[in-house]
């Protein structure tokens, strides 16, 4: 009789442990002092959209944060309590690797996520760039079942198209490295850190993204393709406009090279964007190119960033005004693109007539 009670008690305890574990969400990020404002905005967005069911853990790679920066990040717990810890990440950890002039060495920090995750005893983790906002519950991404795959990510269209002739044996796309879900357990078991470091050394000077191509090379087809809504970028929006505007060109067999390129782009956009959005039901907005916090660099998605800026100690009314102006500049640019393409199409018609 006693043993039955013991079994019931054990089941109750283990189920409560299991369910409490699934409530924990582990997110790795990285920042230095220069990036403290966007990093705060990303965390503020993440926290304000999580519920009391989730316990958020932010593991922050420290690329050069001072005490004040750390205090600012900790103060975001006023929005919703969360856990934050800092991981020392000095350049000498990746001293054999080269990056493009303008890119920080911190892009390689994500290679170390599975290794670092051992400290926290976690099987999976999210990497989140600091130039993002999370516009819904991050659990939706964290709960994706990775099964036997190493990574889940959102595809890069252009670099995937460029990589196809290079990596014939691998059908998997190149992922944008701004938002990735890692199967830490499997990556550790298969020694992926060493493989990634070796692949990066091989690829340097040959490719632009380096980390993204290295992931592609090492992970092969063992990945899950996420819909664009998990990592929505302005470039995707521009591709959509581009493809709409140049539809006539894609159907013109007299321009084989251009036609082929556009067709491939369309196929990839359709294939990878099955449940793609126009940015409306976006879970994660990624400000890859235009940075809302930089003067004159806003986009039509900046409003989202300013919404979360208001939750941080950096909130400044004047800055939000600048965000509004940026939006108008972006709209004007779009009109310019439409006009240029119309002129181009007209010229093309005359040329081909």
Nearer to Mn ion, 131 or 211 (CB): 131
Contacts (Cβ under 8 Å, ≥6 apart) of 269: 157, 236, 239, 240, 243, 276
CB of 140 to Mn ion, least distance (A): 20
CB of 18 to Mn ion, least distance (A): 34
Site membership for Mn ion, residue 211 (CB under 5 A): no
CB of 310 to Mn ion, least distance (A): 22
Count Cβ atoms below 10 Å from residue 161 Cβ, excluding itself: 16
Count Cβ atoms below 10 Å from residue 211 Cβ, excluding itself: 23
Distance (Å, whole) CA 182 – CA 172: 16
CB of 63 to Mn ion, least distance (A): 14
Site membership for Mn ion, residue 131 (CB under 5 A): yes
**CA atoms lying within 13 Å on the CB side of residue 171:** 5
Residues β-bridged to residue 153: 180, 225
Nearer to Mn ion, 266 or 302 (CB): 302
Nearer to Mn ion, 178 or 209 (CB): 178
CB of 185 to Mn ion, least distance (A): 26
Q: Got the DSSP string for 278-298?
A: SSSS-SEEE-SS--TTSTT--
The correct pick among 116, 129, 211, 234 for binding Mn ion (CB under 5 A) is 129
With CB atoms as reference, the residue minimizing the distance to Mn ion is 129
CB of 158 to Mn ion, least distance (A): 16
Count Cβ atoms below 10 Å from residue 36 Cβ, excluding itself: 21
Interaxial angle between packed helices 302-309 and 36-48, expressed in degrees from 0 to 180 and rounded to the nearest 10: 90
Residue 217 host element (H or E): helix 211-219
Q: Which stretch binds Mn ion (CB under 5 A): 100-108, 117-125, 138-146, 173-181?
A: 173-181
Nearer to Mn ion, 131 or 234 (CB): 131
Nearer to Mn ion, 209 or 323 (CB): 209
Site membership for Mn ion, residue 106 (CB under 5 A): no
Q: Which stretch binds Mn ion (CB under 5 A): 138-146, 164-172, 175-183, 226-234?
A: 175-183
> 158, 141, 127, 129: which is closest to 227 by C-alpha?
141
Q: Which stretch binds Mn ion (CB under 5 A): 96-104, 177-185, 258-266, 305-313?
A: 177-185
The correct pick among 178, 279, 292, 323 for binding Mn ion (CB under 5 A) is 178
> 156, 110, 97, 101: which is closest to 286 by C-alpha?
156
List of residues contacting Mn ion (CB under 5 A): 129, 131, 178
């Amino acid at each position: 009789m006693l043993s039955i009670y013991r079994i019931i008690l054990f089941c109750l305890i283990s189920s409560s442990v299991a369910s409490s574990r699934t409530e924990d969400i582990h997110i790795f990020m990285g920042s230095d002092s220069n990036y403290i404002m966007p990093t705060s905005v990303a965390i503020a967005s993440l926290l304000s959209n999580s519920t009391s069911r989730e316990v958020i853990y932010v593991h922050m790679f420290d690329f050069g944060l001072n005490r004040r920066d750390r205090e600012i990040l900790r103060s975001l717990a006023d929005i919703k309590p969360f856990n934050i810890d800092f991981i020392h990440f000095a350049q000498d950890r990746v001293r054999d690797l080269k990056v493009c002039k303008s890119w920080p060495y911190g892009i390689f920090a994500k290679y170390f996520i599975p290794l670092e995750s051992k400290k926290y005893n976690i099987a999976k983790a999210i990497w989140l760039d600091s130039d993002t906002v999370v516009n819904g519950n991050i659990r939706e991404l964290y709960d994706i079942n990775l099964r036997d795959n190493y990574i889940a990510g959102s595809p890069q269209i252009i670099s995937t198209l460029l990589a196809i002739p290079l990596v014939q044996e691998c059908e998997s796309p190149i992922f944008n490295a701004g938002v990735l879900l890692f199967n830490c357990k499997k990556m550790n078991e298969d020694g992926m850190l060493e493989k990634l470091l070796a692949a990066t050394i091989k690829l340097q000077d040959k490719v632009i993204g380096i980390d993204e191509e290295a992931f592609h090379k090492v992970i092969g087809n063992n990945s899950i393709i996420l819909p664009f809504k998990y990592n929505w970028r302005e470039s995707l929006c521009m591709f959509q406009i581009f493809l709409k505007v140049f539809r006539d060109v894609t159907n013109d067999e007299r321009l084989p090279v251009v036609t082929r390129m556009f067709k491939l782009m369309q196929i990839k956009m359709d294939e990878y964007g099955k449940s793609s959005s126009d940015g409306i039901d976006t879970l994660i907005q990624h400000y890859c190119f235009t940075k809302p916090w930089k003067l004159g660099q806003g986009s039509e998605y900046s409003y989202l960033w300013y919404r979360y800026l208001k939750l941080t100690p950096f909130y400044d009314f004047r800055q939000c005004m600048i965000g509004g102006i940026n939006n108008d500049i972006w709209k004007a640019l779009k009109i310019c693109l439409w006009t240029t393409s119309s002129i181009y199409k007209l010229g093309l018609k005359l040329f081909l007539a």
